[in-house]
Structure 1
Amino acid sequence: MSLYRCVDSRDDDPITLMVDRVSAEATAPPPTGDWRADLTEAAYRIRQVTLRHPWLARHALNAEDFGPGTLAMTESTLALLDGHGLDTGDMPHAWRTLLAFVQGHAFAEARRHEARQRRADESETGAPGPSFLDKAAESGEYPLSTRALREAPRPTDPRDAFDRRLGHVLDGLAQAFFERDRR
């Protein structure tokens, strides 16, 4: 109960307050007029914040939970979309698509880092046994998953993977929102 000494009332959820506080760190820079470059910069900021605070990706807020930090981050990112032909109904969809991708990717990146560290720690204390994926691959029941997960080229730099996948998301946003009137 001592945690509630840090908030104004018991109605204030500490997790919501933490999300709001950390969200302020991901405020986007002012728009340059190049929506793709602007969203890329916003994505990198969100990625860095999520890598520093991986728990953040598990706590999506509803608009009624927004505080000043979350609202400032949202406003700054919507400003990057404004003036590019999106209506006010499309802007939150484009924004949430980008946010969901970035937070999900960064959360997975943080989890992979933790798993590598755990395996390194286990190898110091003894040889780890075969993983579930190893056992599943040996069973032959999951040939596509085994090939995709084992044979696909892996980027050595997590940023390379992020860049490639962010490009796919931005291409999708371009087609769905920015280029639709030009067809």
Structure 2
Amino acid sequence: MTVWDRPEPPTRPTPLDRERIVAAAIALADEGGLEAVSLRKVAARLDAGPMRLYGYISTKEELFDLMVDEVHAEILPEERPGDWREALRGHAHRTRRATLRHEWLADLLGGRLTLGPNALAVSETMLSALDGLADVDTVMRAVATVSAYTTGAIRREIADLRSERATGLSKLDWQRAHGPHVSRMLATGRFPALAKAMHEGAEVDAETSFSTGLEWVLDAVATKLAPLPG
């Protein structure tokens, strides 16, 4: 039985429910990452005994599932998308914005299908936007392809942000610090393609890079979609 199927315990003198537990856990994760979340710390924030929480949540993994599903409420579109491309594009951008608000989400994106009601509603929105454009397997592959790009790009962006905080160096500061080494390596002539990319390539911000890559992926998906016969 999943955490969503299991009923909550009866009300007790100290008010407690899964909604309050999840809100406290998200606040802790927003402040200190997933490593800051434990049932003991959540209970302390709620001024409740740790054993009280086990009536609502059996494991920390269940708590993470509930946290992810709660953030999926932020990813749900407010209006029905106009077409499949708008649906997948909107989902990608909303997922990125939600992860920038809740960096810990980057560590939990991907993997097994999230079964919470908000996550299922997000999946339904994307799949329904592609309904009738191709066979089911192609539709599933299209959604998976865009999701894989989205997850990978977001994780890379979050990794860069964490690296900046850990080292105290911005991307530009890091490039300056390592510039002499890179220049010596490129001067050997062993890396001509890399040298050309570094000398001639344009520097773009994270949002522009994400948007450009996403449009390329959507263009590729479009070549695989065609209305089903009859």
Query: Please, what TM-score do these two structures have when normalized by structure 1?
Result: 0.73
2:224 match: secondary structure:
helix
Matching residue of 2:196: 147
> Using the alignment, how far apart are the partners of 1:37 and 1:15 within structure 2?
29
Question: How far is the alpha carbon of 1:170 from its aligned partner?
Answer: 0.6
Matching residue of 1:16: 65
> Using the alignment, how far apart are the partners of 2:129 and 2:206 within structure 1?
26
Amino acid at match of 1:148: A
- Structure 1 residue 175 corresponds to structure 2 residue 223: yes
> Using the alignment, how far apart are the partners of 1:139 and 1:18 within structure 2?
50
- Find 2:115's aligned residue among 50, 59, 66: 66
- Structure 1 residue 38 corresponds to structure 2 residue 76: no
- Find 1:51's aligned residue among 88, 91, 100: 100
1:153 match: secondary structure:
coil
Relative to structure 1, the CA distance from residue 115 to residue 138 in structure 2 (aligned partners, 3 Å threshold; closer, same or farther) is farther
Root mean square deviation, CA, Å = 3.3
Question: How far is the alpha carbon of 1:165 from its aligned partner?
Answer: 1.2
Matching residue of 2:155: 107
Query: Please, what TM-score do these two structures have when normalized by structure 2?
Result: 0.60
**Kept in 1: contact 2:106–2:158 (CA 8 A):** no
Structure possessing the higher relative contact order (Cα contacts under 8 Å, 6 or more residues apart):
1
1:89 match: secondary structure:
helix
Alignment of 1:159-170 (within 5 A): 159-170=207-218
**Kept in 1: contact 2:84–2:126 (CA 8 A):** no
> Using the alignment, how far apart are the partners of 1:11 and 1:106 within structure 2?
24
Amino acid at match of 1:2: R
> Using the alignment, how far apart are the partners of 1:154 and 1:53 within structure 2?
26
**Kept in 2: contact 1:78–1:95 (CA 8 A):** yes
Matching residue of 1:2: 40
**Kept in 2: contact 1:16–1:61 (CA 8 A):** no
Amino acid at match of 1:18: M
Which has the larger Rg? 2
Q: Which runs of 5 or more structure 1 residues have no equivalent in the other structure?
A: none
Relative to structure 1, the CA distance from residue 13 to residue 144 in structure 2 (aligned partners, 3 Å threshold; closer, same or farther) is farther
Q: Which runs of 5 or more structure 2 residues have no equivalent in the other structure?
A: 1-38, 42-49
> Using the alignment, how far apart are the partners of 2:177 and 2:195 within structure 1?
18
2:225 match: secondary structure:
helix
1:145 match: secondary structure:
helix
> Using the alignment, how far apart are the partners of 2:102 and 2:189 within structure 1?
38
* Number of aligned residue pairs: 173
Q: Which has the higher helix share?
A: 1
